[in-house]
Amino acid sequence: MNIVLGVSGGIAAYKAVMIARRLVEEGHDVHVVPTDDALQFVGKPTWEAISRQPVTTSVHENVAEVRHVALGQEADLVIVAPATANTLARMAAGIADNLLGTTLLATQAPILVAPAMHTQMWQHPATQANAAVLLSRGVEFIGPDDGRLTGTDSGPGRMSEPDQIVARALEMLRRRGVEDDLRGVRLVVSAGGTREPIDPVRFIGNRSSGRQGVAVAAAAAGRGADVVLLAANIEESILADVRARENVQIVTVTSANELKVVADREAGTADVVVMAAAVSDYRVAEVRATKMRKEDVGGEHLMLELIENPDILAGLARDRRPGQVIVGFAAETADDQQSLIELGRQKLARKGVDLLAVNAVGWSEGFETAENTLYILAAGGELISTVAGTKAETAEGLLDSIVAKLSTAG
Ligand code: CTP
């Protein structure tokens, strides 16, 4: 596909190099359109080498090709990253005295904007008003994130990470290509890891970041579903991917029991339920009302009595309505792929789900990483799909299997 990457003059321009590179690796034609200011941060040779395309900033170059409108007209997607306060203002006003400006006016393609600026500039009513105008015209925003800025200061204004921007861009392209194959579908997905309190300050938890489940929510929303994301202890920066979407509702939960209550309630009206959360199998039998102190425990050993939590997924599968699709995840440690899939098959049978996405986890794989491989098993235990890649890509692969299942479950 044809992607225009507009780059305006901010220090985050160096991170936009990674965006161009990833999109080229994905097989897209990337046309970088930097502003003159952007070239102060990253020079033309870098953009040309990374994008493997000629780079112009001026409407007076290649006039015969009518480049100032052609780039926009031919684009399937336009990304502006970083988008400075100045560029947002110019976009809102429709100013077209450089190639980026003319391209943005000439295009009918979806536009994704990744703002980057100091917190005060982002929060200024002028910038907020410009962002509101652009949003009302259908421009999509990603970020800005809350974090470290150029100097020692931090706050909202940091450009979203290149990986997140690429994931959103691919999803926008996909939305154009796939058509909204989940429109009208209500999809509930749990994500993150539950925490079981020990006392007011301690809990038993797990390493699940929530990235995979959030990626499923984002991808499903991109394909038109009405999504309810049950978020168990997920960092705000990870949730940022779905926060701004109007067809994603986020419900936050902490413990397994809380998750069960909302999962059962939301499943009542859902067409698809995906349990991607890592749910604690046990909880502490007696949660202390006050902080447990060492002298209360006494001795070198501490015994905590744990009692079993309900199996939410198995309950949902047991009570499912005709046509409803229930999907589980299984994170397993196994020596090889065959035993991983075998463990998955046993779990699938125990839980009684329609689809089970199995992935390998270990000390160094699966959890905080961006890449993942999912083996998707159908109710009979057959391996129907293997999807590898970023969590956004594996989420799309899982949704393909869900769409196929929905069409036969009808
Ligand atoms: N799950 C659930 N409720 C639980 C435990 C797990 O709904 N109390 C769901 C998870 O969200 C996931 C699937 O079940 O979709 C598999 O989770 P996993 O922890 O791998 O399964 P367990 O049943 O805990 O199996 P085991 O710990 O024996 O491997």
CATH for 182-409, options being 3.40.50.1580, 3.40.50.10300, 3.40.50.620, 3.50.50.60: 3.40.50.10300
- Distance of CA 240 from the midpoint of ligand 1 (Å): 26
Active site residue 233: no
Ligand 1 pocket by C-beta < 6 Å: which residues? 256, 275, 277, 279, 281, 309, 311-313, 328-331
| The two three-digit tokens of residue 165, written as one number | 């921007």
- Distance of CA 131 from the midpoint of ligand 1 (Å): 42
Which residue spans of the chain are classified as CATH 3.40.50.10300? Answer: 182-409
Q: Which atom of ligand 1 is nearest to the CA of 329?
A: 15
Beta-strand runs (E) in 91-209: 111-115, 140-141, 145-148, 154-158, 186-192, 196-199, 202-204
DSSP for residue 201: T
C-alpha distances (whole Å) from 303 to each of 32, 99, 194, 378 are 61, 68, 21, 41
Nearest CA to ligand 1 atom 18: 330
CA distance 314 to 82: 45
* Of the candidates 9, 46, 53, 4, the residue with the CA atom closest to the CA atom of residue 169: 4
CA distance 263 to 257: 10
The domain covering 2-176 belongs, at the CATH homologous superfamily level, to: Flavin prenyltransferase-like (3.40.50.1950)
Nearest CA to ligand 1 atom 25: 347
What confidence score (pLDDT) does residue 154 get?
80
What confidence score (pLDDT) does residue 311 get?
98
- Distance of CA 297 from the midpoint of ligand 1 (Å): 31
Exposure class string for 208-239: b at 16+ Cβ within 10 A, else e: bbbbbbbbbbbbbbbbbbbbbbbbbbbeeebb
**Which position among 206, 309, 359, 372 bears the catalytic label?**
206
Q: Which atom of ligand 1 is nearest to the CA of 350?
A: 23
Which residue spans of the chain are classified as CATH 3.40.50.1950? Answer: 2-176
What confidence score (pLDDT) does residue 69 get?
84
| pLDDT under 50: residue ranges of the chain | none
Q: Tell the residue number behind the tokens 């400075």, with chain if given.
A: 84
What confidence score (pLDDT) does residue 18 get?
97
Nearest CA to ligand 1 atom 12: 329
Q: Which residues contact 38 (CB under 8 A, 6 or more apart)?
A: 7, 8, 9, 10, 13, 57
DSSP, collapsed to helix, strand or coil, labels residue 328 as: strand
- Distance of CA 283 from the midpoint of ligand 1 (Å): 14
